[in-house]
Amino acid sequence: MFDNSAQVVAGTVFNSTFPTASVNSIGSSASSNESGVVLWQYCWSPIEGYSAFGPYEGNSSSSDGPMLNVGFLPTSSLLKRIDSTESWYSHDIVRSPYNETLALLYVEGTNAEVTTTANQIDMNSNGVKIRASNNGINASHTLIYSMWGGRPIQGPAPATSTSQGRAR
């Protein structure tokens, strides 16, 4: 279950150790290691041409927000302001197949789908353009994004007969 909490800076959550590709440390904090509580952790890694994750800075502009250039057409995105309890905003091109992207879900709640009258984001061939001054996706603060879609442009290394290559 997603939570809309703000970013927590505490050395006890992950033992003051940043996760690596193979090790993720669980600390002694009650929020990360409470007895009898089931914990869920989602770990993603970017795949060139298919998925992207990272931070961005909002600018509070309702007409010219940041462009999140990830190099592929995302089919879904997840956006969250990290310093407040704003919702997780989920957009996709299935529920809103034509730009403007007006349909969204608040991931951490039980709300029904919301259809806005103002464009939230544009899903472009190379990423997402923010089109709202909404505090949840374009406050003048740091936010994070997760995007999926596209097609991976390289198969497993070393190159095999399943590699798509870069010539297509």
Instruction: Give residue 8's pLDDT.
Output: 58
Question: What SS3 class is residue 126?
Answer: coil
Which pTM was predicted? 0.73
Per the CB < 8 A criterion, the answer to whether 123 and 113 are in contact is: no
Q: Quote the CA–CA distance of 76 and 47 in Å, as a whole number.
A: 15
Instruction: Give residue 52's pLDDT.
Output: 95
Torsion of CA 96, 99, 102, 105, to 10 degrees: 50
Per-residue tokens: 1: 């279950």
Instruction: Give residue 6's pLDDT.
Output: 63
Instruction: Give residue 18's pLDDT.
Output: 72
Parts of the chain with a pLDDT under 70: 1-14, 29-32, 97-100, 102, 112, 117-118, 152-168
Answer positive or negative: Cα dihedral of 150, 133, 85, 116.
negative
Instruction: Give residue 99's pLDDT.
Output: 67
b/e per residue 117-137 (b: at least 16 CB within 10 A): eebbbbbbeebbbbbbbbbbb
Nearest to 101 by CA among 109, 111, 91, 110: 91
Per the CB < 8 A criterion, the answer to whether 61 and 111 are in contact is: no
